[in-house]
């Protein structure tokens, strides 16, 4: 889960976030106290993802009335389309059952061990907030049992290292969830995360939690304060954000509806008698916010989880507008994160993963995208048409997992000697966002990455090169010659037309890799040459 720690402090920003979400302006700020409240509950939770649903259940368990405000048409957030790999250790019942020794102290020590770096040198654990890691470590076991008690059904296998990252060295801690019912109204993309989220939702609804779907929190409302005392947080404002698919007139509806608050008022004021919990996810979809951490992250880059939901920083901005400071945001943004990607599915705008045709939001996605089995089948070029890195190398570091550093002596600088330093293994991303000859002011963005392949490669990969598998509106082009292909490329992030002459010479240059398994990646044997955005 992404972590945003909020502390009272002097940092404050007002409105001005660009809306990364398709659903309208963020407009986070301090709300005026309304003349009357439209709704009220003891606890108002903003966001119905993994954190929001869990918080709502805990509040309901403690006897509070709860309203969850969610901007999307259904619950789930990024979590419902996540892989369903749940890293919880510290001595869970699953670890004990399979004889795995672990403790909260080991989890804490692992996740704050400065001496561990990734193979490309990235020292991610140094950026972990120690207080948050302590709280995480101390609550891992409780969280695991909480999930079981609320209907989550983990695969009955020993916890391992698969699928998740950054677990530390001392014990296997990854638990897995499987979704077998495919994509559709219940599961936006048939991913394991649905087996985490739907049971939590069922439990929350059964415990009386009410859901205000299609409403986006726009501001936090605070009582007037004095110099001595800040005003208490007493509620939120939210505006209606129905999602209507292209060609439709009625908004999308949630899979379950018991406990939904049915209203279509354009905006509502919700009183929180006891507290407001912000569980809006993160800020990777907000280009301005993420560029505070890494200015290379211009809007050409796609973010995992879009377009089901957008983590647009609205929670962070609203909190800062009433005086909160944020700590420890680096890990979710910087180069070790895998939220923002430059390499994965081809020929689709949403390239973090391929989407199922049965997804209820497929009209927004437009194309499943193409999964690559063998990167030897492609040449990747930048917006100028030049190769810039070895396509077969990894995109981002995967974190350290159990036993990866061996022998491992916690907090000992000699651990570095046992990590095989391999900067090119996981540096694709950095090469992909580097400037090139078409990087222009004011952003100097790297522009899109294009994959070139021919009909033979498509056959080997067993790709279907027609809609709805590829998006022919800006993300997939084919032509008989490279020169024609360069001229055909028309994509909003391509700064200038590609020069076919450059492309040909640059692509034929041996580039960053000396050996290529297939000798004809550029359409030499067949006349048809094809490019797809990565
Ligand atoms: C494709 C993919 C695969 C992943 N795989 C894994 C995995 O295998 N294991 C793992 O541990 N993690 C995985 N993750 C990461 C994990 O899903 C997230 O860390 C997790 O979902 C974060 O939970 P959250 O509740 O903080 O945010 P989310 O689950 O994103 O929920 C936030 C919710 O808040 C809503 N919201 C935002 N702003 C507002 C607002 N202003 N008003 C009202 N509602 C708002 C959003 O619409 C969203 O529903 C994956 C993520 C993706 C996208």
Q: Give the pLDDT confidence of 86-107 residue by residue, as tens digits.
A: 999 999 999 999 999 999 999 9
Weakest mean pLDDT among 162-171, 370-379, 513-522 = 513-522
Atom of ligand 1 nearest to the CA of 352: 1
Distance CA 438, CA 298 (A): 14
Do 196 and 326 fall within a single domain? yes
Question: Which mutation among 132, 189, 281, 350 tests ligand 1's pocket best, with the greatest number of atoms within 8 A of CB?
Answer: 281
Share the mean pLDDT of the chain: 86
2 lines ligand 1 (CB under 6 A): yes
Indicate if 439 and 479 belong to the same structural domain: yes
> Do 242 and 360 belong to one domain?
no
Ligand 1 in reach of 48 Cβ (< 6 A)? yes
CA of 432 to the centre of ligand 1 (A): 25
Which residues face 530 on adjacent strands?
Answer: 453, 478
Q: Does the pLDDT value for residue 369 go beyond 60? A: yes
Same domain, 216 and 333: yes
Distance 305 CA to ligand 1 centre (A): 7
Residue 88, domain member (yes or no): no
Cβ–ligand 1 contact at 305 (below 6 Å): yes
Which residue among 6, 19, 26, 49 has the greatest number of ligand 1 atoms within 8 angstroms of its CB, and so is best to mutate?
Answer: 49
- Decide if 500 is inside a domain: yes
Contact 439, 496 (CB under 8 A): no
Question: CATH number for the domain including 263?
Answer: 3.50.50.60
Q: How many residues does the chain have?
A: 534
> What's the 150 CA to ligand 1 centre distance in angstroms?
19
Which of 306, 338, 370 is the endpoint of a domain?
A: 338
Residue, of 431 and 165, whose pLDDT is higher:
431
User: Is the pLDDT confidence value at 506 over 60?
Assistant: no
Whether 321 and 186 share a structural domain: yes
Q: What three-state secondary structure class fits 202?
A: helix
Q: Where in the sequence is the domain holding 499, given as residue range(s)?
A: 342-389+427-533
Residues 500 and 469 occupy one common structural domain: yes
Is 417 part of a structural domain of the chain? no
As beta bridge partners, residue 346 has 370
Check whether residue 321 and residue 239 sit in a common domain.
Answer: yes
In a domain, 19, yes or no: yes
Residues 333 and 357 in one domain: no
Average pLDDT of 145-167? 91
Q: Does any domain span residue 245?
A: yes
Q: Which of 345, 349, 348 is nearest to 371 (CA)?
A: 345
Q: Is the CB of 25 inside a 6 Å radius of any atom of ligand 1? A: no
Please indicate whether residue 56, judged by its CB atom, sits closer than 6 Å to ligand 1.
no
What is the pLDDT, as a whole number, of residue 251?
97
pLDDT tens, position by position, 332-341:
777 666 667 7
Q: Is residue 397 part of a domain?
A: no
Q: How many domains does the chain have?
A: 2
Q: Check whether 181 has a pLDDT greater than 90.
A: yes
**pLDDT tens across 29-55, in order?**
577 899 999 999 999 999 999 999 999
Question: Given the CA of residue 238, which atom of ligand 1 is nearest to it?
Answer: 42
pTM of the model: 0.92
Distance CA 56, CA 264 (A): 23
470 pLDDT more than 90? yes
Q: Is the predicted pLDDT of residue 522 greater than 90, yes or no? A: no
CATH value at residue 368: 3.90.700
Given a cut of 60, is residue 3 above it in pLDDT? Answer: no
Per-residue pLDDT tens digits for 403-412: 888 888 999 9
Nearest ligand 1 atom, CA 77: 49
148, part of any domain: no
Does residue 283 have a pLDDT over 60?
A: yes
Is 138 inside any structural domain?
no
């Amino acid at each position: 889960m992404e972590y945003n720690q909020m502390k009272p402090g002097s940092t404050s920003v007002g409105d001005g976030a660009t809306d990364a979400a398709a659903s309208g302006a963020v407009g986070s700020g301090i709300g005026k106290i309304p003349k009357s409240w439209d709704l009220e509950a003891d606890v108002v939770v903003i966001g119905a993802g993994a954190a929001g649903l869990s918080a709502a259940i805990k509040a309901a368990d403690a006897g509070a009335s709860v309203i969850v405000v969610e901007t999307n048409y259904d619950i789930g957030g990024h979590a419902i389309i996540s892989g369903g790999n749940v890293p919880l250790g510290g001595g869970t019942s699953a670890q004990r059952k399979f004889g795995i020794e672990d403790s909260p102290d080991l989890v804490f020590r692992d996740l704050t061990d400065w001496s561990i770096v990734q193979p490309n040198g990235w020292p991610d654990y140094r950026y972990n907030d120690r207080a948050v890691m302590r709280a995480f470590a101390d609550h891992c076991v409780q969280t695991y049992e909480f999930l079981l008690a609320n209907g989550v059904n983990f695969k009955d296998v020993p916890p391992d290292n698969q699928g998740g990252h950054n677990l530390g060295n001392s014990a296997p801690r990854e638990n897995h969830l499987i979704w077998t019912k495919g994509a559709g109204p219940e599961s936006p993309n048939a991913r394991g995360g649905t087996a985490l989220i739907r049971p939590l939702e069922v439990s929350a609804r059964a415990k009386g939690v009410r859901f205000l779907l299609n409403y986006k929190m726009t501001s936090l409302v605070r009582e007037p304060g004095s110099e001595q005392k800040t005003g208490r947080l007493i509620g939120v404002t939210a505006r209606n954000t129905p999602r209507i698919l292209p060609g439709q007139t009625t908004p999308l509806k949630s899979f379950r509806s018991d406990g939904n608050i049915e209203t279509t008022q354009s905006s509502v004021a919700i009183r929180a008698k006891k507290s407001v919990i912000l569980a809006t996810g993160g800020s990777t979809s907000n280009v301005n916010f993420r560029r505070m951490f890494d200015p290379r992250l211009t809007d050409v880059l796609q973010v995992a989880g879009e377009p089901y939901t957008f983590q647009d920083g609205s929670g962070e901005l609203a909190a800062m507008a009433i005086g909160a400071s944020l700590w420890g945001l680096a890990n979710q943004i910087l180069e070790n994160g895998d939220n923002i990607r430059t390499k994965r599915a081809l020929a689709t705008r949403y390239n973090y993963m391929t989407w199922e045709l049965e997804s209820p939001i497929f009209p927004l996605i437009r194309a499943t995208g193409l999964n690559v089995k063998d990167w030897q089948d492609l040449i990747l070029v930048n917006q100028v048409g030049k190769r810039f890195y070895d396509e077969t190398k990894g995109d981002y570091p995967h974190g350290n997992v159990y036993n990866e550093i061996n022998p491992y002596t916690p907090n000992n600088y000699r651990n570095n000697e046992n990590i095989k330093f391999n900067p090119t293994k996981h540096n694709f991303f950095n090469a992909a966002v580097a400037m090139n000859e078409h990087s222009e002011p004011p952003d100097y963005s790297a522009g899109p990455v294009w994959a070139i392949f021919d009909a033979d490669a498509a056959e080997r990969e067993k790709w279907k090169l027609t809609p709805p598998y590829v998006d022919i509106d800006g993300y997939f082009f084919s032509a008989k010659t490279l020169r024609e292909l360069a001229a055909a490329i028309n994509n909003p992030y391509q700064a200038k037309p590609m020069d076919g002459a450059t492309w040909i010479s640059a692509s034929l240059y041996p580039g960053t890799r000396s050996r290529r398994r297939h000798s004809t990646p550029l359409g030499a044997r067949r006349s048809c040459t094809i490019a797809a955005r990565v």
